[in-house]
A = this chain, B = another copy of it.
Amino acid sequence: MDQQKTRLFLDDLVVGMPFKSGTVDITADEIRSFASQFDPQPFHLDDEAARSTLFGGLAASGWHTAALTMRLIVDSLPFDGGLIGTRCELTWPLPTRPGDRLHAEGEIAEINPSRSKPDRGIVVMRSRTLNQNGAVVQTLSASLLVFRRPLTDRT
């Protein structure tokens, strides 16, 4: 699909439809900056302090990985009305490290038209965020509110 121009409606989706994002790089400075605002723990702030922790070296906050993944997915799944999550499940199998280059890939896992509101539905999107070595640093299963194509536009 032409991701730059197409706006996707519920009607355009099929279960199994895949997507793949571009990439984003993450630096040690960005890891420390995000952590100092939102997750000020030694293993996210200081490489030296991180060495004696479970992480064994500077690691990004899982919330930083989640936020970067959102950026990647927003640019990849152009739903009309936007990407509006109502709930999600996350796992972080491995930490994101300084210098990592991340991308996300995933698929439409469920499409559930609303019974009470005929203009919309809930779509379950599953994604994996991978680093440059192909290792999964995050899995995400998100329930998204997606609108149907307006009646006047349907062919």
Contacts and interface: CB of A to CB of B under 8 A. Distances in A.
- State which size class the interface on A falls in: 20 to 34
A90 B43 CA distance: 24
A114 to B, nearest CB: 13
Interface stretch (A59-67, A98-106, A126-134): A59-67
A124 to B, nearest CB: 13
Contact of A66 (B40, B54, B66, B81): B66
A89 interface: yes
A82 interface: yes
Stoichiometry, copies per complex: 2
Contacts of A70: 38-39, 61, 63
17 contacts: A37-B71, A43-B82, A53-B81, A53-B82, A54-B84, A54-B145, A61-B70, A62-B85, A63-B66, A63-B70, A66-B66, A86-B92, A87-B89, A87-B90, A87-B91, A88-B90, A89-B90
Interface of A: 34, 37-43, 53-54, 61-63, 66-68, 70-71, 74, 81-92, 145
